[in-house]
């Protein structure tokens, strides 16, 4: 019986939705006394209206008749333009008995929906060369994606663009007017307003169906299946359900009565956490401790406002508080990595034991000092800091790489320095040298004199 009621309600809603769609999207002048439906003259306006998609013209008849047109791979953001075959339409009008020649009327429009009661209306603007831009009131151009969601098309022709007497062709459907294979099925979403008998909103939440459908198709949401019903609220007033549309921004209003929550579990957990915080001496990370204190504060706020709380809020607060306590993270002592420094110390010690190269005293002293500092850090690992370890490794590495070998030049320089430091053992003054030279000259003169005398 219940299902039959829903089926009837669905048919009634669909009929109403169709009527609402037409009324909302049609210009008021459609119902003017002098308006005439082209179909009464056996003229299908869809045969004379074309849409330009990716530079190609498509007749509306082809786009709206199953199986439609394959547009897979097309750019859904590309702008769509329209063309109207007025020559062909005028010929059809004359064949039906009309003696007048017609032009496109300013009332021509298209519309689509994003919300179930607020259509987005597009008008045709002459773009030259028989082409019309399709733009909304903000000036935004219709895209291929927009075209796929169009619910209403109205083509108007008159003796002049603004004449009061005209003919029109019309399509107004709830969904899927254009048979384009660029659309998949989507869920239906709605904002649910839980209201009391006075109409005051007690709670709002976002709802999404598990089922999917084509854009604009309708689905019945039974109130009894909404979240919070039966746990936080009981239904009051209408208990059937609401029809919403796939792809639209829907709204559901349901009248409810609040169920008195059970606070025992939350009260117990709050007391437990407060006692824990008062007694614990362990150190926890700031992030995990902040999460716990925030959860505790939120839980206490709910308990302080019991008259406005619902069971869902109580249950959520208990879950968050429990998780926050379970996920506390202890602060860990810093783990110092000594491996690299240990390896470098071993390397340097082996080098010093095996090297046969002589290095300058300054560079060798720098290496041995760096080695001693590194070994001192390794000897006290409990008090070692990673920064100190890293600096010691850097210094030791640099000292080893900075060793300066002793060369022959450096040896000569060193010998000269040593000779300069040696004690003086003879008289090397200028007076002594002069006296020695004089004595040598005197001896030489005596020898020459003796030789001459014997001649």
For the chain, what is the HEC assignment?
CHHHHHHHHHHHHHHHHHHHHHHHHCCHHHHCCCEEEHHHHCCCHHHCEEEEECCEEEEHHHHCCCCCECCCCCCCCCECEEEECHHHHHHHHHHCCCCCCCEECCCCEEEEEEECCEEEEEEEEEEECCEEEEEECCCCECEHHHHHCEEEEEEEEECCCCCCCEEEEEEECCCCCCCECCCCCEEEEEEEEEECCCCCEEEEEEEEEEEEECCCCEEEEEHHHCCCECCCEEECCCCCEEEEECCCEEEEEEEEEECCCCCHHHHHHHHHHHHHHHHCCCCECHHHHHHHHHHHHHHHHHHHCHHHCCHHHHHHHHHHHHHHHHCCCECCCCCCCCHHHHHHHHHHHHHHHHCCCCECHHHHHHHHHHHHHHHHHHCCHHHCCHHHHHHHHHHHHHHHHCCCECCHHHHHHHHHHHHHCCCCCCCCCHHHHHHHHHHHHHHHHHHHHHHHHHC
Whether 105 has a pLDDT exceeding 80, the answer reads yes
Same domain, 253 and 192: yes
Domain count, the chain: 4
The domain boundary, picked from 104, 139, 172, lies at 172
Comparing CA positions, the residue from 244, 13, 284, 221 lying closest to residue 113 is 244
Same domain, 285 and 378: no
Whether 444 has a pLDDT exceeding 50, the answer reads no
Is position 455 within any domain?
A: no
Same domain, 164 and 193: no
Distance of alpha carbon 207 from alpha carbon 332, whole angstroms: 43
Same domain, 168 and 217: no
**Distance, C-alpha 436 to centroid of its chain:** 102
Whether 99 has a pLDDT exceeding 50, the answer reads yes
Same domain, 243 and 318: no
Is position 452 within any domain?
A: no
- pLDDT in the model for residue 267: 97
Is position 315 within any domain?
A: yes
Is position 431 within any domain?
A: no
Same domain, 27 and 152: yes
The mean pLDDT value of the chain amounts to 83
Is position 84 within any domain?
A: yes
Residue 413: pLDDT band (50, 70, 90) is: low
Q: What domain range is 232 assigned to?
A: 186-258
Same domain, 193 and 279: no
Same domain, 226 and 253: yes
Is position 138 within any domain?
A: yes
Is position 391 within any domain?
A: yes
The domain boundary, picked from 138, 172, 206, lies at 172
Structure tokens at 336: 């110092």
Is position 443 within any domain?
A: no
The domain boundary, picked from 120, 143, 172, lies at 172
pLDDT in tens, 141-195: 999 999 998 989 999 999 999 999 899 999 987 667 898 888 778 899 999 999 9
**Distance, C-alpha 222 to centroid of its chain:** 35
Same domain, 190 and 74: no
Q: What is the CATH number of the domain that holds 234?
A: 3.10.20
Same domain, 245 and 150: no
- pLDDT in the model for residue 452: 39
Q: What is the CATH number of the domain that holds 308?
A: 1.20.5
What contacts 171, CB < 8 A, 6 or more positions away?
Answer: 46, 64, 152, 153, 154, 177
- pLDDT in the model for residue 13: 41
Q: Could you tell me what percent of the chain has a pLDDT over 90? A: 63
Residue 409: pLDDT band (50, 70, 90) is: low
Same domain, 115 and 40: yes
- pLDDT in the model for residue 294: 98
Same domain, 233 and 291: no
């Amino acid at each position: 019986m219940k299902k039959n009621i829903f089926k009837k309600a669905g048919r009634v809603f669909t009929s109403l939705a169709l009527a609402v769609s037409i009324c909302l999207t049609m210009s008021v002048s459609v119902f003017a006394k002098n308006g005439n439906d082209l179909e009464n003259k056996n003229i299908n306006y869809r045969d004379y209206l074309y849409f330009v998609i990716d530079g190609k013209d498509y007749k509306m008849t082809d786009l709206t008749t199953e199986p439609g047109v394959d547009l897979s791979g097309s750019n859904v953001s590309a702008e769509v333009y329209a063309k109207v075959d007025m020559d062909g339409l005028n010929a059809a009008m004359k064949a039906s008995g009309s003696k007048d020649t017609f032009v496109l009327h300013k009332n021509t429009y298209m519309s689509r929906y994003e919300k179930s009661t607020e259509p987005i209306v597009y008008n045709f603007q002459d773009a030259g060369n028989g082409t019309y831009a399709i733009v909304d009131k903000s000036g935004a151009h219709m895209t291929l994606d927009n075209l796929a969601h169009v619910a209403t098309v109205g083509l108007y022709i008159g003796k002049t663009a603004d004449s009061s007497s005209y003919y029109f062709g019309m399509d107004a459907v709830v969904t899927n007017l254009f048979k384009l294979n660029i659309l998949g099925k989507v869920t239906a979403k709605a904002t649910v307003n839980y209201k009391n008998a006075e109409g005051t909103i007690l709670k709002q939440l976002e709802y999404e169906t598990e089922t999917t459908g084509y854009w604009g198709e309708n689905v019945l949401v039974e109130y009894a299946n909404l979240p919070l019903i039966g746990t936080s609220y009981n239904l009051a007033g209408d208990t059937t359900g609401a029809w919403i549309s796939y792809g639209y921004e829907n709204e559901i209003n349901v009248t409810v009565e609040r169920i008195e929550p059970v606070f025992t579990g939350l009260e117990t957990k709050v007391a437990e956490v407060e006692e824990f915080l008062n007694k614990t001496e362990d150190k926890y990370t700031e992030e995990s401790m902040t999460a716990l204190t925030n959860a505790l504060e939120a839980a206490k706020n709910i308990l302080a406002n019991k008259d406005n709380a619902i069971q869902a809020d109580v249950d959520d607060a208990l879950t968050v508080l429990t998780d926050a306590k379970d996920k506390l993270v202890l602060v860990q002592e810093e783990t110092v990595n000594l491996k690299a420094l240990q390896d470098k110390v071993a390397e340097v010690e082996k080098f010093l034991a095996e090297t046969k190269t002589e290095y300058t005293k300054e560079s060798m002293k720098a290496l041995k000092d760096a080695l001693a500092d590194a070994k001192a850090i390794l000897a006290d690992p409990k008090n070692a800091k990673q920064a100190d370890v890293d600096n010691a490794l850097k210094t030791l590495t640099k000292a080893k790489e900075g060793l300066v070998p002793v060369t022959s030049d450096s040896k000569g320089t060193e010998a000269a320095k040593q000779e300069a430091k040696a004690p003086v053992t003879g008289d090397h003054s200028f007076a002594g040298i002069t006296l020695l030279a004089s004595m040598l000259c005197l001896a030489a003169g005596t020898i020459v004199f003796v030789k001459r005398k014997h001649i």
